[in-house]
Structure 1
Amino acid sequence: MIRTLLVRGLLVGLLAGLIAGGFAFVFGEPRVDSAIALEEAAAAHHPAGTAEHSHDEEEAPVSRPGQKAGLFLATGLYGLAVGGIFALVFAGLRGRVGPRSDGKLGLAAAGTAFVAVILVPFLKYPANPPAVGDPETINSRTLLYVVMILVGLAATAIGVATARRVTAGPWARGVAAGVAFLVPVIAAWVLLPTVNEVPDGFPATLLWEFRLASLGTQLVFWAAFGVLFAWASDRAARPATVPV
């Protein structure tokens, strides 16, 4: 059964990754191009910056056309990785938590994963386009983002455990799980340092369009993944019909 779920997760993840890649290509790449154009225009006003930028451009291993062409490869590989991990986690959840139906459990698990792994860290540390962010702080920013992912996962586990302890009706369990989830998340949002490295004069519209496109790409991926995984699970659960 685990092998079947793993294959299902890999195939669905690949397809969802390609769908998300299409969204990112249409809505995200134009914002990246605009941000790069701003970065180049700013560097052109500083001779030293121009020389440094030109050197970086020469040293860039992949050109912008190559990056665009490789976008679908990247999102496809992302989908494969996520699909494999999701399938293994799903195998551990079946019959233990959530809905008994594999399809409903798949949808619930995909939605929960989006909230815990994507939305929670995004609301604290949203994605930034090129020309935004200090290269010297990339390690610390990455660490903070990973911490928020761990907080989201831990909060999810706390919420599920709390819901299982509540013996009242579904509404009471839902409220208890929601509160138990939000307490550590809000605490992390308040206690962890804020990162704001947006340079003066950077267009606010472009910044938020890029961030929305980034979040939208993940939303499209997890929505497509959840729906396709649920459909495949329900289809596999149907009894085979023998022609008479």
Structure 2
Amino acid sequence: MTPRTFLVHGLLAGLIAGFAAFLVSYVVAEPQVDAAIALEEAGAAEHPHDNATAEQSHSHDEEEAEVSRGTQSTGGLALGTILVGVVLGGATALAAAFAAGRLGSLSARASTAVVAAVGFVATALVPFLKYPATPPAVGSGDTINERTALYFGFWALSLAAAIGAVVLARRLLPQLGAYSAVLAGAGAYLVVVVVAGALLPTVNEVGGFPADTLWYFRISSITTLAATWAVLGAVLTGLVGRDADRAAERLRRQELAATL
């Protein structure tokens, strides 16, 4: 199989995963977003600006074309999740193509599954544990750039540490065996992200936001991420495994024909 084959499979798997993420997000996450927006609007009603500011804001809102909440939660959400899914699928497929045949005795199917699992842990789960998603009405607008930089900085560090851990495990494989090499790589990754997580600043701008609404929002967010990676990994692994089985069958037939 060529990298192009992996990439095509990855784009298809990402498309399917993006659509699945849209369905999950629409069912479990959007109600929590609506609840957070309602709380934000209720808080704004309790602390209104002066009349001149309010009238100016209202006039500006009428003049400025805005995307409605209904469009955001349907077409906008679908477009966003599908685009993210396709990008993730392509990147994961290229990583799987590189990993095929380089992770010990793992088959192409197994190495692809490993790449998807590592991708979820390194780019979704671990960054979420340090900097979990926050709904509207949480966090100051003055610190949004700083919070975004912290999240993506930790995201990049986690991904780099995961790649380094895989490389380390692969190099230790001949000396330690598969079990010990995997443990060494996983341990090295945990040390890096735990130390980095402890050194990086903590963001705590929740204020008086209801804890239950925040909890359900974050659970729905990680559920959407998990669904995206689960579908992506399952579909990509299945497609790669199917092609690998077909290639093995063709090779077996060629070898059989050569003996006749």
In the alignment, what sits opposite 1:135? 141
In the alignment, what sits opposite 1:183? 191
8 Å contact kept, 1:98–1:108:
no
1:18-57 equivalences under 5 Å are 18-48=19-49, 51=54
Runs of 4 or more above 4 Å deviation:
52-60
- Answer with 1 or 2: which has the greater Rg: 2
TM-score by length of 1: 0.92
Q: Which of these residues, 54, 69, 77, is aligned with residue 64 of structure 1?
A: 69
Cα drift, residue 157 of structure 1: 2.2
Aligned residue pairs, count: 241
In the alignment, what sits opposite 1:2? 3
Distance of 1:145 and 1:60 partners within structure 2 = 31
Amino acid at match of 2:32: R
Change beyond 3 A, Cα 1:30–1:110 = same
Corresponding position: 1:151 with 2:152 = no
Amino acid at match of 1:221: T
Q: Which of these residues, 90, 93, 96, is aligned with residue 96 of structure 2?
A: 90
In the alignment, structure 2 segments of 5+ residues that lack a partner are 254-260
8 Å contact kept, 1:90–1:109:
yes
Q: Which of these residues, 171, 174, 180, is aligned with residue 179 of structure 2?
A: 171
Cα drift, residue 232 of structure 1: 0.8
Cα drift, residue 215 of structure 1: 0.7
Change beyond 3 A, Cα 1:187–1:36 = same
Cα drift, residue 170 of structure 1: 2.4
TM-score by length of 2: 0.86
Amino acid at match of 1:230: T
Distance of 1:219 and 1:2 partners within structure 2 = 26
Cα drift, residue 74 of structure 1: 1.1
Distance of 1:228 and 1:142 partners within structure 2 = 31
Change beyond 3 A, Cα 1:55–1:64 = farther
Change beyond 3 A, Cα 1:191–1:198 = same
Q: Which secondary structure state, in structure 1, belongs to the residue aligned with residue 49 of structure 2?
A: helix
Change beyond 3 A, Cα 1:184–1:60 = farther
Report which stretch shifted further, 149-158 or 183-192. 149-158
8 Å contact kept, 1:98–1:105:
no
Cα drift, residue 84 of structure 1: 1.4
Corresponding position: 1:229 with 2:230 = no
Distance of 1:29 and 1:54 partners within structure 2 = 26
Cα drift, residue 54 of structure 1: 5.0
Corresponding position: 1:113 with 2:114 = no
In the alignment, structure 1 segments of 5+ residues that lack a partner are none
Distance of 2:61 and 2:105 partners within structure 1 = 52
Distance of 1:112 and 1:55 partners within structure 2 = 50
Cα drift, residue 163 of structure 1: 1.3
> Structure 1, residues 41-95: CA drift from partner, whole Å, max 9, x if none?
0101122189387578654631110101221111111111111112222222222
